[in-house]
Structure 1
Amino acid sequence: MSVDRQAYALAHARVRAAGPARLGAGVAAAPGMLRLTRPDSTGEAVPVWPDGVTPSLLDEHQVPPVSVERSGETRRVLAAVLKCCWRDLSVDPWPGEPASVELVLDTYRELIGRTDDLMRNWARGALRRLHDSAWVIVDDGVVLLGPRCALWPVESHAQLQELVRRLPEPERPELTVVGDADIVAVAGPHPPAPAGAGGRAEGGAAEFDDLLSGYDERRRAELVAAFMAVEHAAEPVPEVRFAALRDPALRHTLGEMLARRGRTLIQHRERWTSGYDDAVAAELGGAEGTTSLGVSERAVLTLVLVHSVAIPRAEGLLPEDSWLSPHPTPVDELRRHTQLPIGELEAALRSLRHAGLIGQVKAGEEAGGYVPGPQFHRLTPAARRRLQEELILAAGPNTPLAAAVLARRSAK
C-alpha cells in the first residue's frame, strides 16, 4: 500500500474510532469522505457510503444493523431536533440553525403527548446518544444538527420535509425568564459545527472507482452490499447471502476496499465481519484522542471480561478462543469491585452499551447482568491473543502465566 493510501486508511480508521475528524483551513478530506466546511474554511470530515447507498441496504438483505438503545425514542428525539433546527425547508437540512434544548424537549413532549419527568429523562438520554454518535451536537443548552445529518441523500429531503411539516409545534406558555433566541445568543458560536448559511458540504475524491470499474453493474452492487454488511451489521453475516463473500475473486476485491479504510475481513466459520487491520490498530492505539473510553469504562469492561470470560474459561465452561459469553456479570459484582460511585458506574455501563462493547441480558428470573458485546466479533486473531494476554495480566498479575506473558513481551 502506498504512503498516501496508508495515510487515508488511518484517517478513516480514526474517524470510525473517534468520530468526525477536524480539518484545518484548506485541508482536504481523505478520499471517501465528505468535507463539511465552516465559514472560516476549517471543517470536519465524515465518511460517505460507496455508490451513494445507505445502511438501509441491510434491510433489503434482511441483515440486522447495530441496535440503538431505545431506538424509537431516539428517532423521535432526532425528528424533534430536525423540526427545531431545519427552519428553512428550501435549503438542505444541514447545517440548519441552532435551537435551545428546551425547545427540542417541548417539541418532543408535544409529539408524544406526555409531560412527566420520565419523558424528559428519556429525551435527554436520547439527546446524549445522538450527540455521542454525531447525529446532533449538544453544547451549553443549545442543539445543532450533527455532521452525520449531512449524509442524508438528496433523494430523502422531500420525505424529511414532509416529516417536519407534520410534526406539531409545541404549545409554550409565555416565557418569563429567558427565551430560546436569548439562550442561543448567550451560548455564542459553536465551533464543532458550522452555523448559518456559511456551512457547506464538499464531496471528496472517489475512493473505490478503480477497484469497482472493472465489474458489471450486478457484480459492483454485490461488492457494495457485502461491504456495507460486514461494516455495519450487528453480527457476522452468512456468506451464503452475499456473492462477494462466497466468490474468492470478489472477496479479494472486498478485502482491498476494506483495506482502504484501515479494515480487514474476519471469518467466523461460514460467517464474515470486518475489524481494524492489526497495523492500523497499533497506530491508533498509540495515538491520542482515538478512543472514547475513559478510565471508568475500561475498568468496568475489564471486570465484565474477567467475570464473564476469564473465570468461565478457567472453569472449562468457555472455549479458549471465544470472547462472547452466556455468563453475565451481575451489577452487584460490578458495584462491589469497581468502587465507582453509582452515577459514574451507570454512565460507564451506558457508554459501553452504546459502543457495542457490552450487552445487557436477563437470566431467567434472576437479575441478569452484562456480557461482552458484539464488537468482540470484530477482533482479528492477533487482537484476540493480545486481549487474552491483557486479561491474564489484569486477572492474575502475580501468576506464573502473567510472568510468562511479560517475559515473552520483553524478549520481542
Structure 2
Amino acid sequence: MSNSLSLLFRAYKRVGLVTQIVVGLVAGCLLAWLSPEAAASVSLLGSLFVAGLKAVAPVLVFVLVTASLANHKRGQPTHIRPILVLYALGTISAAAVAVIASFMLPTSLTLVSQANDVIPPEGVGAVLRTLLFNVVDNPVHALIEGNFIGILAWAIGLGFAFRHARQSTRDLIADVSDGVTLIVKVVIGFAPLGIFGLVAGTLAESGFAALAGYLQLLLVLVGSMLFMAFVVNPLLVFWQIRRNPYPLVLTCLRESGITAFFTRSSAANIPVNMQLCERLGLHKDTYSVSIPLGATINMGGAAITITVLTLAAVNTLGIAVDIPSAILLSLLAAICACGASGVAGGSLLLIPLACSLFGISNDLAMQVVAVGFIIGVIQDSAETALNSSTDALFTAASCLAHGDVNGAEQAS
C-alpha cells in the first residue's frame, strides 16, 4: 500500500503544475454540475488557498525586495524603467481599446438599485492622496493590511540602507529571503486543490444564470480584455524582443492568468508571478521590484472596466460623446486605474470619477457600480487575469530584450 502511494505521489509530482491546475479546474466544474451541495462544501479549500497566498505575499515582497537591493552587485543593471514604460503604454492602450469597442458596440444598462454601502472617492485628487499616504504608511500596518505601495517604499529604503551593513547581515537577509521563497513554493503547490475549491464553490453558489441579462456588456468587457491579451500586448512585446511574442504571451496567460482568474486578486497572484519569473530565468533584482509594483499600477483590465461601464452609462442616458471627450476619458481611466489598488472596492468604485466627466450624478453613477457588482464574478476574474499576467509578461519581455536573464527555462 505504501509503495503504491509512493508511486502515485511521484507520478503526481512529475505532472506539471499547470496540468494539475487544469485537472483541478475540470474536476471543480464536474462536481458543481453533478452535486452542487458537495461543491459548496469544498469551497473551503479555495478560501484557504487564497488566504494562504494573501498571507505570504506581503512578507515575500518585503523580504525579497530588501534582500535584492541589499545584495545587489555593482555593475549589474536592472531594467525597471522600460518595464514602467510598458506598464503605462499597456494601461493607456487598454482604455483606448475599451473606448473603440464601446463605440463599435454601444451598450445600454438596466440600472438597478443604488449601492448604498460603498463610498466612492471624491475625485482624482482623493485617489492620488490615498496613494501618497500609502507610501508613508507604518511598515507594520502596511504588512498587516497588504498595502504593497507602503511595503515597497519601506523595502526599497531598507534595501539601500543595508547595502552599507556587514556582509554577515546581508547574508542573513538573503537566507531569510530564501526561506520565505520556500514557504511560498509550498503554498503554490496547493494551487490545484485551491482552484478545485474555488471553481466548485463559485459555480455552486451563483452559476451564471444571473448574468444572462448582461451578455452584451460582458461581451464588450471580456472582448476588450481578450483583444488586449492576444493583440495589443503581443505587439508591445514584439516591440521589445523583436521576435514571435506568442510563446511568451501564452506562457504568462497559462501560468499566471489562469490562477489570477480564479483567485481574483493581483496581490494573491504576486507569489505565482514571482515563481514564473524565476522559472523563466529572469534576474531577481528586476522582477522582485517590477512584479509587486505592477500589481499596484499596471491596471489595463481596470482601465477597460472603468471605460466600458462609464460609456454604457453615457449611452443609456443618451449623452453624445465626441472624440476629445473620449480621449480625455481614456487618460482619466488610465490614471484612475493606476490608483485602483489604493481604493477599497478597486476599479468599480472609480467609475463615478469617470462618469463625472459627462455630468452624470453620483446617484446614477453608483447604480452603474451596482451593475458592476452583479457581473463581478466574470468582470473581476477577467480583469485580474489580464492585469496580473501582464505584470509577468512585460517584466519578461523587458528582461529578454536587455539580456537580463540567468539562462533558465525561457518561453521565447
Compare the two structures and name the one with the higher strand fraction: 1
TM-score bracket, normalised by the shorter chain, equals under 0.3
Compare the two structures and name the one with the higher helix fraction: 2
Give the greater-gyration-radius structure (CA): 1
Superposition TM-score, scaled by structure 2 size: 0.26
Superposition TM-score, scaled by structure 1 size: 0.26
